[in-house]
Amino acid sequence: MKFIEPTEVAAMEVVEDAIDEVNKLKGNANRAWNEASEFDANKDKNNFRQYEDACDRVKKFYKEQHEKQTMEFNLRIRSSFKKTVRARMGIWEAMEMLDTLVDDSDPDTSVSQIEHLLQTAEAIRRDQKPEWMQVAGLVHDLGKLLYIFGSEGQWDVVGDTFVVGCKFSDKIIYPETFEANPDAKDPVYSTEYGVYQPHCGLDNVMLSWGHDEYLYHVLKNQSSLPEDALFMIRYHSFYPWHRENAYQHLTNAKDQRALTAVRAFNPYDLYSKSDEPVNPEKLKPYYQGLIAKFFPDVIEW
Ligand SMILES: [Fe+2]
Ligand SMILES: [Fe+2]
């Protein structure tokens, strides 16, 4: 495990908050999220500067991610993922470990990771959604443990995901930043279908590596969660698809079901951060009960 500096962690939190902010703004169809003038009209100068900073930060983050998420990287990272067990621990322990990520970061910038997981689960529970969906909310970001286990940076942990191995969709945020990705000039990977067959299904395409893909691969054989929960986990950052309707030429009928699941989940992820604060110790017995229903005591991470 690598040693992580508190400042590094705070930096990831700041980037994540900015990414969330952009995704919320993009969700508001009446507002061009990156057009400053409209936003400026309703905000004072100070807020606006913060907004501009957030945009710069997000753009810098995606520039790096879009250069580095190549087919070559994705093949390499998946093969190394399969060869190693990074930790052995239960779900609650993993939540606590993820929370150590933010202990030293600025409490004003964000809710902690464990709070975000519990707030997401609690919002789903409040709406009387099934237990498996509450559990999906509870665990959906545990893949960020990658950051503790030794990711190469933030670009291979967080951010919106997209398909590698075919033309980068122009529905991906900052599509122009893919120019620096070697795959954009590859004779196969740069074509409409790339290495894929028409309507091969998302199961058969490679999504950019990050906390979603990682957690999906950890849990698919180590939980009794229904497929819909696994869809929510795997595709929750796949905004080009679940919000922008990209990749219609690759998806099949099964993906329609996944889309419904992910769209049902997304508001809980994005909007529960402004909910009431939660008390992890108070909620622990209830969620420990749910965890026992869907997971073994110890998971290989
Ligand atoms: Fe996430
Ligand atoms: Fe999340």
Q: What is the pLDDT of residues 254-296, one digit of tens each?
A: 999 999 999 999 999 999 988 889 999 999 999 999 999 999 9
Q: What is the pLDDT of residues 3-50, one digit of tens each?
A: 566 566 667 778 888 888 888 888 765 555 555 544 445 556 677 777
Q: How far is the CA of 232 from the centre of ligand 1 (A)?
A: 10
Q: How far is the CA of 49 from the centre of ligand 1 (A)?
A: 26
**Residue 160 and residue 172 in contact, taking contact as beta carbons nearer than 8 Å:** yes
Q: How far is the CA of 9 from the centre of ligand 1 (A)?
A: 16
Model confidence at 103: pLDDT above 50: no
Read off the pLDDT of each residue in 111-137 and give the average, rounded to a whole number. Answer: 96
Which two tokens mark 290? 């749910």
Mapping DSSP onto H, E and C, the string for the chain reads CCCCCHHHHHHHHHHHHHHHHHHHHHHCCCCCCCCHHHHHHCCCHHHHHHHHHHHHHHHHHHHHHHHHCCHHHHHHHHHHHHHCCCCEECHHHHHHHHHHCCCCCCCCCCCCHHHHHHHHHHHHHHCCCCHHHHHHHHHCCHHHHHHHHCCCCCCCCCCCCCEECCCCCCCCCCHHHHHHCHHHHCCCCCCCCCCCCCCCCHHHCEECCCHHHHHHHHHCCCCCCCHHHHHHHHHCCCHHHHCCCCCCCCCCHHHHHHHHHHHHHHHHHHHHHHCCCCCHHHHHHHHHHHHHHHCCCCEEC
Which two tokens mark 14? 């700041």
Q: How far is the CA of 145 from the centre of ligand 2 (A)?
A: 13
Q: What is the pLDDT of residues 50-86, one digit of tens each?
A: 777 778 889 999 999 999 999 999 999 999 999 999 9
What's the one-letter identity of residue 213?
A: E
- What does the mean pLDDT of the chain come to? 90
User: Among all ligands shown, which has an atom nearest to the Cα of 116?
Assistant: 2
Residue 299 — left, alpha, or beta (φ > 0 → left; ψ -120 to 50 → alpha)? Answer: beta
Q: How far is the CA of 101 from the centre of ligand 2 (A)?
A: 15
pTM: 0.89
Q: How far is the CA of 239 from the centre of ligand 1 (A)?
A: 11
**Residue 192 and residue 249 in contact, taking contact as beta carbons nearer than 8 Å:** yes
Q: How far is the CA of 47 from the centre of ligand 1 (A)?
A: 25
pLDDT band at 106; cut points 50, 70, 90: very low
